[in-house]
Amino acid sequence: MSDEKKKALEAQIRAFVGKPVGPVVVGRDPVNEPMIRQWCDAMGETHPAYLDADAAKKTVHGEIVAPPTMLQAWVMEGWAMHEGYDEPKNEQHRLHKVLADNGYTGVLGTNTEENYTRYLRLGETVKALTVIDSISEEKATGVGIGYFITTKTTFENQDGEDLGSMSFRVLRFKPANAQAAASKEGESKATAQKPSRIKPPMGHDNGWWWEKVASDGVIPIQRCTSCQKLRHPPRPMCDACGSQGFDAIAASGRATVHTFTVIHYPQFPGYEYPIVSIIVDLEEGERMASTLVDCKPEDVSIGMAVEAVIHEDEDGFKIPFFRPAAR
Amino acid sequence: MQKTKKIDELEVGQELPPLDLPITATLVAGGALASRDYTPVHHDRDAANAQGLPDMFMNILTTQGLCSRYVTDWAGPDAIVTRVRTKLGGPNMPGDLLKIRGKVVSTEGKDADVEVSGNNAWGNHVTATFTLRLP
């Protein structure tokens, strides 16, 4: 986009800042017990002040109140939302349409902040006014360049009493990923895949090792067919005699912890944290890196006896782990 | 009735009991409708598929409602939630196990900030900081 075009776009979107999204929204129903009960059912909520008039009297509230995080629910549009909005219905939609028409087709909720002045009581009608509060400079983000749009909603009851406020921030972005862009245009519907363990590279020198783990359910140790020396991790040539001939033996699985570290951060999807990452001394003498399972991080120690277990991920990938040895 | 925690019973770094919550289609749809959020992606798998996701996904209000329950179940009925700051992450869908964890991150006067995280197989779904006023 040329500088001039961008300037014009930014002038156009900045004109929305400070504008109310639309008229004040008045909750269709006053705060009522049936809607509170339905909410509590779904949330697994058993709070006495939300559900039981007698018990509520014994709490700091003194009467039935609505769950605080339900505040926005009282002014949600409800059924009409299922129709979506191809044609913009309010200022917020118009702002989003301007950006979408300029290639910022992606939208992602990023942050909210709710302040609850007090809990809502039965019979109160909630009124909400939402204003387009701010639009950021253009930012480079992990999903593409875009603008953060913050709306601010203030909530009052029928008498104008302050009930709280909410800020909601969304990112409107140009999808960096071409596939995502294509799917927006309906050309290909890329479906997100559940993240799983990052697979090790499996090449000519080590692929056989992973295949053996999967097919035989053992930890293979590479052995030189010329001088019988064991080696791990797998590599093409014996460091003792230089031979490239090899076969493998199955490790007994008995080992001791040589050293360890506990990984808390960074957390990648597809793994369970914390991870107790270990280097073990195999009974056969070789050393290998692995993960210790069925053991709390505070219980691992150098020298502890462990035994191998072949772990299988949800996607069928098999990998040797260790667990504390049975006594 | 459960006793509500006092501010001097809390310590910064103190952890809340963990809660592992299996996510079902009923919970996702039930939570969305209980919050009057009829956006199709929260109750209709086809609509979610059209947006590139494998299944219908939980709306923000349900996530906040679950986290709020988690925090006040621990703190007690007289703990008042005065503020929630939420950082949104990946989706939460039927078949996921949402692992909810919490810890006290600060205390001041009678107020305590409790940080709650919800993680599933997709990574972090939500991180929310609840400010509680204790009696």
pLDDT of residue A177: 62
Distance CA A63, CA A60 (A): 9
Of B76, B73, B77, B57, nearest in space to B65 by CA: B73
- Whole-structure pTM value: 0.80
Domain ranges of chain B: 10-133
Which token pair is A67? Answer: 């769950």
Residue-wise pLDDT for B55-97, tens only, equals 999 999 999 999 999 999 999 999 999 999 999 988 999 999 9
CATH number listed for the domain at residues A207-324: 2.40.50
In chain B, which residues have their Cβ closer than 8 Å to the Cβ of A115?
A: 82-83
pLDDT of residue A183: 46
Average pLDDT over chain A reads: 92
Distance CA A306, CA B121 (A): 27
pLDDT of residue A246: 97
Answer yes or no: is pLDDT of B123 > 90. Answer: no
In chain A, which residues have their Cβ closer than 8 Å to the Cβ of B27?
A: 42
Helix/strand/coil for A17: coil
pLDDT of residue A188: 42
- Note the CATH architecture for domain A3-31+66-184: Roll (3.10)
- Greatest Cα-to-Cα distance within chain B, rounded to the nearest angstrom: 51
Helix/strand/coil for A269: coil
A77 touches chain B (CB under 8 A): yes
Out of B66, B77, B84, whose CB is closest to A43?
A: B66
Residue A160: partners with Cβ closer than 8 Å, 6 or more residues away = none
Determine the residue of chain B that is closest to A118 in CA distance.
B82
Distance CA A217, CA A226 (A): 26
Residue B39: partners with Cβ closer than 8 Å, 6 or more residues away = A81, A82, A84, B32, B59
Distance CA A82, CA B39 (A): 5
A327 touches chain B (CB under 8 A): no
Of the options 3.40.50.970, 3.10.129.10, 1.20.1250.20, 3.30.1330.30, the CATH number for the domain spanning B10-133:
3.10.129.10
B83 touches chain A (CB under 8 A): yes
B88 touches chain A (CB under 8 A): yes
Higher pLDDT, A272 or A256: A256
Mean pLDDT of A281-297: 96
Residue A24 dihedral angles phi and psi, to the nearest 5°: -60, 130
Average pLDDT over chain B reads: 95
Answer yes or no: is pLDDT of A84 > 80. Answer: no
Residue-wise pLDDT for A7-47, tens only, equals 999 999 999 999 999 999 999 999 999 999 999 999 999 99
In chain A, which residues have their Cβ closer than 8 Å to the Cβ of B75?
A: none
pLDDT of residue A26: 97
B97 touches chain A (CB under 8 A): no
Out of B40, B67, B123, whose CB is closest to A267?
A: B123
Residue A256: partners with Cβ closer than 8 Å, 6 or more residues away = A280, A281, A303, A304, A305, A306
B111 touches chain A (CB under 8 A): no
pLDDT of residue A191: 62
R_g (Cα) of chain B, nearest Å: 16
Answer yes or no: is pLDDT of B14 > 80. Answer: yes
What ipTM was reported for this prediction? 0.97
Q: Are A283 and A308 in contact (CB under 8 A)?
A: no
Domain ranges of chain A: 3-31+66-184, 207-324
Residue-wise pLDDT for A157-209, tens only, equals 999 999 999 999 999 988 776 444 444 444 444 566 778 889 999 999 999 99
pLDDT of residue A83: 83
A198 touches chain B (CB under 8 A): no
Asked which of A86-90, A114-118, A137-141, B17-21 is least confident by mean pLDDT, the reply is: A86-90
Distance CA A323, CA B71 (A): 34
Answer yes or no: is pLDDT of A80 > 80. Answer: yes
pLDDT of residue A254: 97
B75 touches chain A (CB under 8 A): no
Residue A159: partners with Cβ closer than 8 Å, 6 or more residues away = none
Touching A: B residues 36-65, CB under 8 Å: 36-40, 49-50, 52-54, 60-62, 64-65
pLDDT of residue A315: 87
Asked which of A113-122, A196-205, A234-243 is least confident by mean pLDDT, the reply is: A196-205
